[in-house]
Each structure stands twice: as structure tokens, then as C-alpha cells.
């Protein structure tokens, strides 16, 4: 009897040890768990991300690039991310909807530093570093945008969003060459094969642009490309409203403990580099929790491109709908989703793990749960930006 008890205790200890390694130790040292194991998918969602007290009275956006939020203590879910110090990269500008319709799109001859088409060679890899993705019947390898690369399933027609809308912007997102691997912000290749395509948009040089940040990035890039500066605003986890219109007027955000306030520091600047600095600041202090509180929950049947499947909290995760198609005879709809993850990485279009051919389309009538390669959402976890009236 004693031997049985001892054996059971040993088995129990082994189970606890394995769980600790998978959910805590491996993510903390940068090794990430594949399909379905989602511990730590979002950053620490404590008020103002639980930044170390050493960040008190530190001012974001200094000339020296020392942003509020340095000396981050973080948690295991935070992946020991030392957010705060600006990268100092000189971004030259984004590409708006339609800019690549002539065929001279990102991935062909637009290799700018920062913004769309910002691969500076990183997106074009040799054959040895590529992988075969997608069903050949659904993938046009020559396509350079979401709508140009991924064909609708047989019998379906791609939905046509309103001209100039967020939905049209997402359908026309530029893609890196077919077969490109997902890379982390530090240049390392993501080991898990979960993607059908990689969006041609810079990640930045620090561990900032994770899951919620990718949604924020795409929404902000759309509004910036339209000159809708007044609509670019995102909440920090403590509720502080970070408005881009104040940032471009030269104000910067000073963080002290769990408080944040605006401080006038610079001259007015509407350039793309200033915009990217603003986004890095937002990435530092926003997350799935703040997104869930500022977005509106919607019914799944109202889904359209630009909507977000979102679980707020720590851990939390989100993916954004970038395209949809409909079967005109049966009325059935399917959609494509994109994500970033931990650590910061290329925004990429996800495969549907329920299909073995790399098909990226998900049925709208998926049941109670939407199962993606790295997270499972419930059917009621669907959100929309409150001011998204023309997407």
C-alpha cells in the first residue's frame, strides 16, 4: 500500500512539474507552446501593466528615446519583456488602400524602413527557409494582398466592403512572398506552422507588438492613412485615453505609478515616425483588457471585416477578421483572421486547424467555440470598434 501511495505522489509531482515547465518556465525564456496551450498569450494586464515602481515620474518620448514604462518587472505572462526604450528607427511612411493596385505593391519594389512593405529584405527568404502553406486551389502565390493571394472557397464570393472603409483596407493589406515564415521581433523564426500568409508590415525592434497591439496597429494604420487623426485614440489599462491628436501636437505621456498625464515637450509633428512612436507608447500600456473595455460587443451574425474575436484579461488573446466571403445560394459565410502573438512577431493570417490542407477560411457557423491554432474563443467574444461606422 505504501508503494502505491509513493508511486501516486511521484506521478502527481511529475504532472505539476510538467505543467510548470509548459505554462511558466518555457514561455518565460522565449520558448512558446503550440496549438491550444495558451498560457501567457497576452501581456500582464495589471493596472498600467504592473510596471516597476522605478518607472515612476519617468516621461515617455524623450529626445533620448527613454519612454515611460522602462524597468519593467512583469510576470511570466509578460515574457520578461523590457518595454519602454524607443527603438529609434526612422520610419518613412505607410501605404494606404489602393497604393499597390497598379502592381507595384509591397513585396515587389517597396522596401521602406517602417510601415507596410518594411521588410528591408527580411520578408524575402531563400527557398530553404520557406515552407509550403495553403491549399493550391485557394492560394495564388503571385498575389500581393490578402484578397489577391487567398481565393474564396468554391461556390463562395468575396464580400465587397464599402469603398474607403476599414474592411477594404484589410482586404488590401500587403503580404510578404508566399512561403515566408513568421519571425519574431528579434529575427528568430517562429517554430509553429500556424499561418497561411504573412502581412508585410514591420514588427519593430522590441517586444511590443503582440496580440492586442496588432489589432491596434491595423486600426491605427487605417485611420492614419485616411488622415482621420481625431479618431486615433486607445485606452491604457488604467483607462487613460491616449489620443494621437495630442501626441502629434507635441504632448507626451508622463507615467507615475498608476497615473498618467500629458506633458508638452515637442513641436507639432504629423510624420509617420512620430506616429510609430505614439503606437509604441500605446503598445506599452494597452492590452486585451483595455481593448475589451473600449470596444463594443456584437452578435456573431453581424460579423464583418474589422471585427475582433477577443478575450480580455491575463492571459488573454485576440484575432481580427480581415476578409469574408458568402455563398450566395445558401447564404453561408466564411471569414479569415489574422493575429500577432507572444513574443512580438509578424502579423499573420491563420490556418484553420480543423482542416489539414492549410485552408485559412473559418465558417461563421462554427458552433459554440472558435478554435484557432493558438487560442479558443467562445461565440460571444466578438467585438467592434465603437467608431467603426464605415467599415
For 39-54, write each residue's pLDDT tens digit: 344 554 444 543 333 3
**DSSP class of 110:** B
Q: Which of 9-18, 62-71, 270-279 has the highest mean pLDDT?
A: 270-279
What average pLDDT score do residues 170-192 get? Answer: 97
Q: Is the pLDDT of residue 248 over 90?
A: yes
For 222-242, write each residue's pLDDT tens digit: 999 999 999 999 999 999 999
Burial category of 95 from C-beta neighbours within 10 Å (exposed 0-12, middle 13-18, buried 19 and up) = buried
* Residues 310 and 303 sit within 8 Å (Cβ to Cβ): no
What average pLDDT score do residues 351-363 get? Answer: 92
Of 261, 217, 219, 218, whose CA–CA distance to 239 is shortest? Answer: 261
Q: Which three-class secondary structure state does DSSP give residue 150? A: strand
What average pLDDT score do residues 83-96 get? Answer: 35
- What's the predicted TM-score (pTM) here? 0.74
Helices (H), strands (E): how many in the chain? 8, 16
* Residues 267 and 250 sit within 8 Å (Cβ to Cβ): yes
| Residue 145 to residues 175, 183, 290, 382, Cα–Cα distance (Å) | 5, 19, 30, 25
Element (H, E) at 5: helix 2-20
Q: Is the pLDDT of residue 18 over 50?
A: yes
pLDDT of 122 reads 43
pLDDT of 4 reads 73
**Secondary structure (DSSP) of 299-325:** -GGG--TT-EEEE-SSS-EEEEEEEEE
What average pLDDT score do residues 6-11 get? Answer: 75
Residue 369 to residue 297: CA distance in whole angstroms = 16
pLDDT of 185 reads 98
Predicted confidence band of residue 19 (pLDDT cuts 50, 70, 90): low
25-31 contacts, C-beta under 8 A, 24 or more apart: 25/76, 27/76, 27/77, 27/79, 27/342, 28/76, 28/79, 28/80, 30/79, 30/343
For 205-216, write each residue's pLDDT tens digit: 999 999 999 999
What average pLDDT score do residues 79-98 get? Answer: 34
Amino acid at each position: 500500500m505504501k508503494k502505491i501511495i509513493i508511486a501516486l505522489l511521484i506521478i502527481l509531482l511529475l504532472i505539476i512539474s510538467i505543467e510548470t515547465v509548459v505554462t511558466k518556465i518555457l514561455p518565460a525564456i522565449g520558448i512558446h507552446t503550440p496549438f491550444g496551450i495558451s498560457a501567457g498569450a497576452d501581456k500582464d494586464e495589471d493596472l498600467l501593466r504592473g510596471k516597476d515602481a522605478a518607472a515612476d515620474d519617468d516621461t515617455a518620448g524623450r529626445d533620448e528615446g527613454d519612454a515611460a514604462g522602462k524597468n519593467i518587472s512583469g510576470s511570466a505572462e509578460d515574457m520578461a519583456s523590457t518595454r519602454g526604450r524607443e527603438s529609434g528607427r526612422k520610419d518613412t511612411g505607410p501605404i494606404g488602400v489602393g497604393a499597390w493596385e497598379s502592381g507595384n505593391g509591397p513585396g515587389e519594389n517597396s522596401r521602406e524602413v517602417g510601415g507596410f512593405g518594411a521588410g528591408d529584405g527580411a520578408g524575402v527568404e531563400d527557398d530553404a527557409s520557406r515552407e509550403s502553406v495553403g491549399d493550391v486551389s485557394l492560394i495564388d502565390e503571385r498575389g500581393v494582398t490578402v484578397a489577391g493571394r487567398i481565393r474564396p472557397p468554391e461556390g463562395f464570393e468575396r464580400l465587397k466592403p464599402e469603398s474607403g472603409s476599414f474592411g477594404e483596407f484589410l482586404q488590401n493589406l500587403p503580404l510578404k512572398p508566399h512561403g515566408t515564415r513568421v519571425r519574431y521581433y528579434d529575427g528568430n523564426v517562429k517554430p509553429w506552422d500556424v499561418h497561411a500568409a504573412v502581412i508585410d508590415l514591420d514588427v519593430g525592434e522590441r517586444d511590443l507588438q503582440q496580440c492586442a497591439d496588432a489589432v491596434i496597429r491595423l486600426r491605427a494604420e487605417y485611420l492614419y492613412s485616411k488622415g482621420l487623426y481625431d479618431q486615433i485614440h486607445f485606452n491604457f489599462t488604467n483607462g487613460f485615453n491616449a489620443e494621437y491628436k495630442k501626441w502629434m501636437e507635441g504632448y507626451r505621456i508622463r507615467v507615475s505609478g498608476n497615473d498618467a498625464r500629458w506633458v508638452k515637450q515637442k513641436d507639432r509633428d504629423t510624420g509617420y515616425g512620430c506616429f510609430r512612436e505614439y503606437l509604441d507608447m500605446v503598445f506599452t500600456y494597452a492590452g486585451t483588457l483595455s481593448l475589451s473595455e473600449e470596444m463594443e460587443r456584437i452578435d456573431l451574425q453581424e460579423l464583418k471585416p474589422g471585427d475582433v474575436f477577443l478575450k480580455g484579461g491575463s492571459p488573454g488573446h485576440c484575432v481580427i477578421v480581415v476578409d469574408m466571403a458568402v455563398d450566395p445560394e445558401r447564404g453561408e459565410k466564411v471569414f479569415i483572421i489574422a493575429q500577432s502573438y507572444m513574443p512580438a512577431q509578424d502579423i499573420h493570417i491563420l490556418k484553420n486547424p480543423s482542416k489539414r490542407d492549410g485552408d485559412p477560411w473559418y465558417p461563421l457557423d462554427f458552433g459554440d467555440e472558435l478554435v484557432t491554432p493558438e487560442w479558443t474563443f467562445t461565440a460571444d467574444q466578438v467585438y467592434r470598434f465603437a467608431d467603426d461606422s464605415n467599415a
